[in-house]
Structure 1
Amino acid sequence: MPVAFLHLSDIHFGQEKGGLVFTHDDVRERLIDDVTRLVQELPNGKIDGIIVSGDVAYAGFKVQYTTAGEWLDRLACVAGCQITDIQVVPGNHDINRDGICRSSEMMLADITQNGELRLDYFLELEKDREVFYGRFEDYRDFAEAYDCPLDREGGTAGERTVELAPGRTLRFIGLNSALCCGKKDEKGKLLLGARQRVLPRRVGEELVVICHHPLPWLRDSEEARQYVRSRARVFISGHEHTPQVTVDPVQSGCDLLMIAAGATVPPLENDEFTFTYNLLQFDWDQIANALVVTIHPRVWSQAKTAFEPNIKTFGAEKIAHSLGCPNFQDKVLSREMASISSQDTSAAEDVHNDTVNSGMIDAGSQEERSAMEDKFPFLLLRFFRDLTATQRLTILIEMGALPKNWNGALTHPLERRALDSLRSSGKLEALETEIQKFLGGSADGEKNS
C-alpha cells in the first residue's frame, strides 16, 4: 500500500530576530495551512509520518526544541499522523557551539588531522563518548523523544520501517553527518565513520537514507557513496538549502534517487533561497517490479504569501520516478519468503503447543500489556521532550530504576537504559502515572495532540 511523508529540512527554530520573528512564524503557519489542503487530496486522506533532515534548531538550545516540538505536534495533527510519527536526524545547527568544551575541541581537532582511526579511538570508552557527544546535549533529549537516538558508539541515528507490500519493506535509516561538526565546518572535512556508512542489506528490504549533509561534505564520501549507491534506493539530504532531485542509474535494475531538500526556513529569503518543503509518496509498482517515488515539491510564493507547487524549479506540480530495486526482485523474494514462512510456521506451532500445555494463556493481561506497549512511544516523547532533567531523575528514583541515594552523574545512555528497564519489567502504567503528575492530563498525547 502507498505511504506518504512530509519532508522538512533546515527549519532553524530560534534564528529569528526583530521582524523576522513575525515573518518566519507566518511561514510556518502557512505551511500548516498548505499541508491541511494537500492531505485532503491524498488517497488515504492522511500522512504516514514526518521526516526532518537536520537543523531543527538554529543553535541547539533547549528552548528552540521546545518551540519546535509544539509546532511539530500541530503539524502532525493536521497531517493525520501521530505526534510520535516523526523521524529526525541532526544537522550542524543542532549543535550547541557555545557549549563545546576544550576536551571536545581537542578531540575534533585530532580527528580532523588524523582521520577515522582517531574517531574510533574516542568512541571506545563511554566516558570519552559522553564528552564527545556533549555538543548535542539538548538535541539528544529531543531526538530520543522521537526514538531517533544518537548511537552512543558512533552508529546510525535512528530508523523506522514500513511495509509497502507483502515481503517488501522500506527501512528509513538516519545518519549523523554532524558527528564531527565543530565550531567551524569545512566541506569535505566531516566524517561519518564505518559504523554509519556500512549500510545493511536484507532481502525484501530497500533503504531510504536520511542525512543532513550531502555526500561531498564528507571526508569519507567515496566510501559512503559506494554503500549508498549499492544498498540504498533513496538518499535524502539538506544543508545546502537548494532543492534538487536526480536519479543515479547504478546498474541495470538498480537506481538511486537523490533528493536534496531546500530549507523549510532559511535564515533569510532572497533570490537564491526561499521557503520550501516536500511531500513524498512511496508505492510499489507490481507490474514494473519497481519502487515509485512521487515528489510534490512546495515553494513559497512571494506574490501570494503562501505555498504553491514548485513548478519553476521542477517544471511540474509533481514528479514521479520508478526505481529498480534489486532487493525486491520476485525470484529472490519467493525463495527467501518460502524459507522464512516454513520456519515461522514451525516455530509458531511450538510456541502455541507449549503455551496451551502449560496453561499460561491470559488474554486479559496480554491485552493490557499490548495496550501499554502501544503507549510507549507517547511515554518516550513526554519523558525526554516535555520533562526537565530534574523531573526525569525524580521519576527514575521514585520508580526504583535508580537507587534512592543516587548522587552520580546521570548520563544520557544511563537514563535511557533506566527507562528501558522500566519497560521490560512491565512498569509502563506506573510510568504513565508519574509523568502525569508533572504534565497533567494524559501522557499518551490527548492533551497536546
Structure 2
Amino acid sequence: MTAVFVHLSDIHFGQEKKNGGQLKINNDARRELIEDAAAVIAALPNKRASGIIVTGDLAYAGKREEYDAAGKWLDELARRVGCKAADIQMIPGNHDIDRDKIKGATQMMLEAIIAEGEEALNRFLEEQVDRDVLYSRFTEYRRFADAYQCPLDCTGNNSAERRVELAEGRAIRFVRLNSALICSKGDKEGHLLLGQRQRVLEAGPGEELVVLTHHPLNWYSDADDARKFLRGRARVFVSGHEHLAALDVQHIEKGRDLMLLAAGATTPDKIDDTYNYAYNIIEFDWDEHEDALAVTLHPRSWNDDMKRFEADDVRLRGRDSRIVLGSPNFRRAPRPKMLEPDVLDAHAQTAMVEIIVPKEEDVAADAQVDEAEYQNLYLRFFRDLTEGERLRILVELDAISGDIAGGFNHEIESRLFRSVVRANRFHDLRRKVDEALIKRERTRGAR
C-alpha cells in the first residue's frame, strides 16, 4: 500500500497583521495550493491522500483567531485531497508560542535553561507546577492540536503514536518532536534544546521512523547527540523553519540511509528571488525488491509569472523523484511474501494512518462506534466549541454536575468526553454538538 501525504510548513496564519497588505495575496496563494494539491493527488494512482502533515508555525503569534483560520483552511484542503480532518498531524514551531506569556516565572525558567542547559530542563520537567509554567506559552496551540489528537507531551517526551502499514510487517511510524520547547522572544541558532527525553528515538523491527520537527539540526545545542540517534534509528527527518526547501540523502553505512527533507514555507514572510510559496506531496511505499522504504517526492513551488503552483524540479537536483532508502529496520523483521502481479493493484491502495492508543483508551471500539466518526466528533468538540459550550454539553449529558465551575484542562475534558461515549451516548453527544454550532451561527446571523 502507498501512503500519500500533503506536507506543509510555516503557514503563518495571522502574519498579515504585521505585513500590511499581504492578506489578499496570501489567501490567493493558499486557495491555489488547495487547487494544485487536489489536481496532483487526483493524477496519482491512489487518487486520494492518507493525510496532511504540518511541520510547525501554523500560526504567527499563537493566538486563538489564527488557529480558527488555520482550521477552516485545513478542513477544506483535507476535503479536496480526499482525507479526513482527523488525518491531519502537526508539530509546533516558534510562531506557535504566545510571546505575550513570556514574562515572570516563564522568562526566568527559559533563561535558566539557556544558561544551564539540559540539567535545568530536566529539573523543571520533573515538577507539575514547573511544567505548567513552561508549557503555558503553547495554550492555544495545545487546544488546537489536542483536537486533532496530536497532543504535546508535556513531560518533555516525543510523540510516536501514528503508524502507517505499507505491507505485511512493513510500516512507517511518525515521531513528532517539539523543537520549540525552549523558544523565547529572540531565539539564536544553536541555542535551542530538544532534551534527552525527546531525542532518544526507539525503532522496532519492521518499522522505519519518519521524524517531524520544526527546526533543522543546526538550531539545537544538543544537535550532535540528536544526529547520532537519527543516523542510527531514523529513515527520514523532516524540518521547516528556514523557509528554504532542500533535499539530502545521506548514506550512513551499507544498507542504511537517512533522508533529510527541509520544507519550504507555505506562506513565507516575504516573496523574492530566494523565498517563495512552497509545499510537498510525499508518497511512502515498500520497495519489494530491496525490502526498503521508498519515498517519492513531488515538490511544488509558486510560479509568480503565472500566479500558480508548479513542479519544482530544481529541488530534486537531477535525482529521480522516487528514492529507495536502505532500511535496516525492515530487514530486522521477517520478509513479507512477494506479491503476485495480479494482486499488485490491490496492494497499491491508499494506506491509512493508524492512531495507536492504549487498550484502555480505545473508546470507539469499546462503544462499537465507527472510528472515523469518533475522530471527527472529537475534533469538532474540542476545536470548534468554546469551553463554556463543551461544559454545558457535559452537564446536560450527566458527565459532570451542574454546579461545577470552569477551569477544566484538556486531559479532564477528554476523559469526560470518553466517559459519555462509553455510556453509549455517542449519538446524543453528536446531536448536542450540532445544536451548539447551529445556535452559534444563528446568534451571529441575528447581529
Distance 2:307 2:296 in 1: 25
1:295 and 1:318 in contact (8 A); partners too: no
Q: CA RMSD in A?
A: 2.2
Q: Which moved more, 1:225-234 or 1:49-58?
A: 225-234
**Alpha carbons of structure 1 residues 158 and 168: separation in structure 2 relative to 1, 3 Å:** closer
Check conservation: 1:46, 1:81, Cα contact below 8 A. yes
1:361 matched residue in structure 2 = none
TM-fit CA distance, 1:334: 2.3
Cα distance, 1:201 vs. partner?
1.6
Q: How far is the alpha carbon of 1:423 from its aligned partner?
A: 4.2
CA contact (8 A) 1:240 1:262 kept: yes
Which residue number corresponds to residue 140 of structure 1? Answer: 142
Higher RCO by CA contacts (8 Å cutoff, separation 6 or greater): 2
Which residue of structure 2 aligns with residue 334 of structure 1? 334
Equivalences for residues 290-329 of structure 1 within 5 A: 290-315=292-317, 319-329=321-331
Residue type matched to 1:92 in 2? N
Which moved further from structure 2: 283-292 or 307-316? 307-316
Cα distance in structure 1, aligned partners of 2:210 and 2:261:
11
Choose from 404, 412, 415 the match for 2:413: 415
Match of 2:166 in 1: 164
Separation in 2 of the partners of 1:9 and 1:100? 24
Return the alpha-carbon distance in structure 1 between the equivalents of residues 415 and 120 of structure 2.
27
Say whether residues 1:13 and 2:13 are aligned partners: yes
- 1:25 matched residue in structure 2: 27
Paired residues of 1:4 and 1:49 also in contact (CA < 8 A): yes
Q: How many residues align?
A: 411
What is the TM-score normalised by the length of structure 1?
0.87
| Structure 1 portions without partners, runs of 5+ | 338-365, 442-449
Q: Separation in 1 of the partners of 2:373 and 2:160?
A: 19
The answer to whether the 8 A contact 2:367-2:421 is kept is no
Report whether the alignment pairs 1:277 with 2:279. Answer: yes
Q: Deviations over 1:303-358 (max 9, x none)?
A: 111001112333469622110111111xx322999xxxxxxxxxxxxxxxxxxxxx
Q: Helix, strand or coil for the counterpart of 2:85?
A: coil
1:45-194 equivalences in 2 (<5 Å): 45-157=47-159, 159-194=161-196
> What do the CA deviations read for 1:355-397 (whole angstroms, capped 9, x no partner)?
xxxxxxxxxxx99933344422112211121111221222333
Percent of paired sites with the same residue = 46
1:225 partner letter? R
Secondary structure of the residue aligned to 2:368 is helix
How far 1:98 moved relative to its partner? 1.4
2: CA distance, partners of 1:18 / 1:335: 57
Aligned pairs for 1:383-398 (under 5 A) are: 383-398=381-396
Return the offset for 1:169: 0.9
Note if contact 1:168-1:204 (Cα within 8 Å) is conserved in structure 2: yes
Q: Which residue of 1 aligns with 2:198?
A: 196
TM-score by length of 2: 0.87
Of residues 270, 274, 291, the one that matches 1:268 is 270
**Structure 1 Cα separation of the partners of residues 115 and 210 of structure 2:** 32
CA distance in 1, matches of 2:415, 2:235: 33
Contact 1:310–1:317, Cα closer than 8 Å, also in 2: no
CA contact (8 A) 1:90 1:212 kept: yes
Distance 1:367 1:240, change over 3 A: closer
Query: How far apart, in 2, do the equivalents of 1:391 and 1:371 lie?
Result: 23
* SS class of match (2:4): strand
In structure 2, the residue matched to 1:348 is none
The residue aligned with 1:347 is none
Partner of 1:360: none
- 8 Å contact kept, 2:199–2:229: yes
Change (3 A) 1:116 1:92: same
Shift of 1:189: 1.1
Contact 2:167/2:336 (8 A) holds in 1:
no
Counterparts of 2:5 and 2:11, CA distance in 1: 16
Partner of 1:447: none
- Which is worse superposed, 284-293 or 236-245? 284-293
Shift of 1:159: 3.7
**Cα 1:367–1:185 shift into 2, 3 Å:** closer
Distance 1:72 1:96, change over 3 A: same
* Rounded Cα–Cα distance in structure 2 between residues aligned with 1:155 and 1:207: 16
**Partners of 2:422 and 2:330 in 1: CA distance:** 35
Structure 1 residues 275 and 391, CA, compared in 2 at 3 Å: closer, same or farther? same
Q: Deviations over 1:18-45 (max 9, x none)?
A: 3211110000011111112102211011
> Deviation per CA, 1:45-78, whole angstroms, max 9, x where unpaired?
1111110000001111111111111011111111
Between the aligned partners of 1:327 and 1:313, the Cα distance in structure 2 is 28
- 397-406 vs 373-382, which deviates more? 397-406
Q: 1:43 to 1:379 in 2, by over 3 A?
A: same
The amino acid that maps onto 2:211 is V
